[in-house]
Chains A and B, each alone.
Chain A
Amino acid sequence: MRVGVIALQGDFPEHAYALRRAAEELSVEVDVVPVKRPHHLRDLDALVLTGGESTTIGMLLKRTGLLGHLRDHLSSGVPTLGTCAGAILMAKEVRDAVVGPTSQPVLGVMDISVVRNAFGRQRDSFEADIDVEGIGKVRGVFIRAPAIVKVWGGAAPLAHVQHPRAGRVIVLAQQGPLIASAFHPELSSTDIHRHLLVLAKK
């Protein structure tokens, strides 16, 4: 299996590491390849959109001509996991908790609405145990994390977090083969990456 990791900006080595461990646990052969140019998208069985700054990644996607190709790729049904910035890029609606509407370039492929920096600034970044439907308990690492405030159409929530200030918030959603995560599974476990690889195997 070939799994691409968008390697423009952000925590792509952490994702590559988590994918390799997940592959070992599932005993499947996985090639993890970095994606920086449109031609790197060829023959991929799954894809990861990493954490990072969504504005920076969006701008780099646009400049390298990846944005349009990636949108087609995701629409064609390639299983894709987007974490944090990746989830923001996949959402159809994006705004910021402080600044409001942002005009950043996004892919807009999932029926979810996302609020950036929804839990506050870095000093408010946190860890919490969350229950993921069909997977079980996962340690969620939330770093200046977004919140998924609305899902509609084909998207369904898979997990919530109970936050003392923000209340009960959706933090993981799936729409067919697309998974959006507000937290960083690559920093704590391999459960979500295994889920992605299982989707890709089907």
Chain B
Amino acid sequence: MSVSVSFDMLERIRDLFYGLLEARDRLRSMGMDWPPRLDGVEIGTVRVKVGFQAMFRNGVIMDVTNVEQAQVAEGAGAVGVMVLDKLPYDVRKAGGVARMADVKVVEEVMSHITIPVSAKVRIGHYYEAMILEQVGVDLIDESEVLTPVDEQHHIDKWLFRTPFVNGARELCEALRRISEGASMIRSKGEAGTGNVSEAVKHFKAINQSIRDLQGHRDDEEYLRDYARRCQVPLELVALTAKMGRVPVITFAAGGIATPADAALMMWLGADGVFVGSGIFKSQDPESRAAAIVLATAHWDDPETVVEAQRMTSEKSAMLGMDIRTLKPEEMLQTRGI
């Protein structure tokens, strides 16, 4: 079922949350109207925030650190870029506190390419998000790759008119993020490892939960119990059960390094893929980027995936690391759940 059927329900959930938080009144008292209106046109609606990601379907969003890389990504057919200060692989190596990218770099990238530009903010950091919205970033990733500033709470994303994407390892986590206003979900995977195994695990966990919910779609008690356990509105759980999928666009992320990795994630039900370190940490970024785009759009056609895989060489691929060698404190995916 198409995600467009979920708009009305998500709008109701937004209203429900506003009712609980009285955020709308708070905004009004600050002199802001919500949703914002210009003469005759309405901006920041659920429909434009969630519909935007439908345009990403079967696409690849690539991590970049400068204008040259962004232009390579655009030329290869990416549907968007994610501007970072350091690629996740280097974040992992460097340690310390990882923060939002330089505003100057973000602005420079925006003025040089025509495709959507996204950037990451630290979990719970309202003001990094506010800055990115002001700058005009098209999509904000509240990301566990950066160092969280709030261990307890994520950003209340209903307050922004820029859409947000959040990571999730299982369905409850995804639904919690949606109820906070995320308009797109991605698997967390284990970023910067070049190892897709965690992303596979997270997608399988999500798929399994959705099958369970589908089996109980008419059992209100079951759905109510599930909603209570996940701490999300019943309406959202019922919608998920009815649609048989996460009600917003869901991408795979974390360790995708080859065309075959991308095709595998699409086969597992992803609507598209994020590629982080996999492209610009390889020896053949241009052809690898184009190959991953091709394999993502044609994942259901083995001949084309072979053609894509042939465009890359395993000798040039990012080396990657075994997740089992990581210490628990080195895991990024357990941040912000």
User: Which residues of chain A (165-191) have a CB below 8 Å from chain B?
Assistant: 165, 184, 186-188
Please report which residues of chain A, range 2-25, place their CB below 8 angstroms from some CB of chain B when the two chains form the complex: 7-14, 16-18
Write out the residue numbers on chain A whose beta carbons fall within 8 Å of the beta carbon of B221: none
Contact B138 A14 (CB under 8 A): no
**Nearest CB in chain A: distance from B47 CB, A:** 6
- For A96, list chain B residues within 8 Å (CB): 114
Known: A121-B136, A122-B139. A13 touches B2 (CB 8 A): yes
Contact B77 A14 (CB under 8 A): no
Contact surface of A with B, Cβ cutoff 8 Å: 7-14, 16-18, 36-37, 51-53, 55-56, 59-60, 63-64, 84-85, 96, 98-99, 102, 116-117, 120-128, 141-144, 161-165, 184, 186-188
Asked whether any CB of chain A lies closer than 8 Å to the CB of B207, the reply is no
CB-based contact B301/A36 at 8 Å? yes
Query: Can you spell out 28 A-B residue pairs with CB atoms less than 8 angstroms apart?
Result: A9-B57, A11-B2, A14-B3, A36-B298, A36-B301, A52-B79, A53-B78, A56-B78, A60-B293, A98-B110, A99-B114, A117-B114, A121-B136, A122-B52, A122-B116, A122-B163, A123-B44, A123-B162, A125-B43, A125-B48, A126-B38, A126-B43, A127-B41, A141-B51, A144-B138, A165-B38, A187-B4, A187-B54
List residues of chain B with CB within 8 A of the CB of A123: 43-44, 133, 136, 138, 161-162
Residue of A nearest to B74 (CB): A55
A55 and B115: CB pair below 8 A? yes
CA distance A96 to B110 in the complex (A): 12
In the assembled complex, B329 has its CB within 8 A of some CB on chain A: no
Q: Which A residues are in CB contact (< 8 Å) with B114? A: 55, 96, 98-99, 102, 116-117
Residues A127 and B47 in contact in the complex (CB < 8 Å), given A36-B301, A56-B79: yes
- CB within 8 Å of A: which residues of B? 1-5, 7, 38-45, 47-49, 51-52, 54-59, 74, 76-80, 110-116, 133, 136-139, 161-163, 290, 293-294, 297-298, 301, 304
Given contact pairs A122-B138, A127-B48, A144-B138, A56 touches B293 in the complex (Cβ within 8 A): yes
B contact residues around A84 at 8 Å (CB): 55
Q: How far is the CB of A132 from chain B (nearest CB, A)?
A: 16
Contact A85–B2 (Cβ < 8 Å):
no
Contact present for B161 and A144 (CB under 8 Å)? no
| Residues of chain B within 8 A of A64, CB atoms compared | 298, 304
For B294, list chain A residues within 8 Å (CB): 60, 63
Residue of B nearest to A184 (CB): B51
Of the residues A13, A63, A164, A184, contact of B40 by C-beta under 8 Å: A164
A53 to B51 CA separation, bound complex (whole angstroms): 13
Chain B residues near A16 (CB-CB < 8 A): 2
> Measured between alpha carbons, how far is A188 from B42 in the docked complex, in Å?
14
Known interface pairs A123-B44, A126-B41; 20 further A-B residue pairs with C-beta atoms within 8 A, sorted by A's residue number = A10-B54, A10-B57, A51-B54, A52-B57, A52-B58, A55-B115, A56-B79, A59-B76, A59-B293, A123-B133, A125-B43, A125-B48, A126-B43, A143-B51, A143-B55, A144-B138, A162-B39, A163-B40, A164-B38, A188-B47
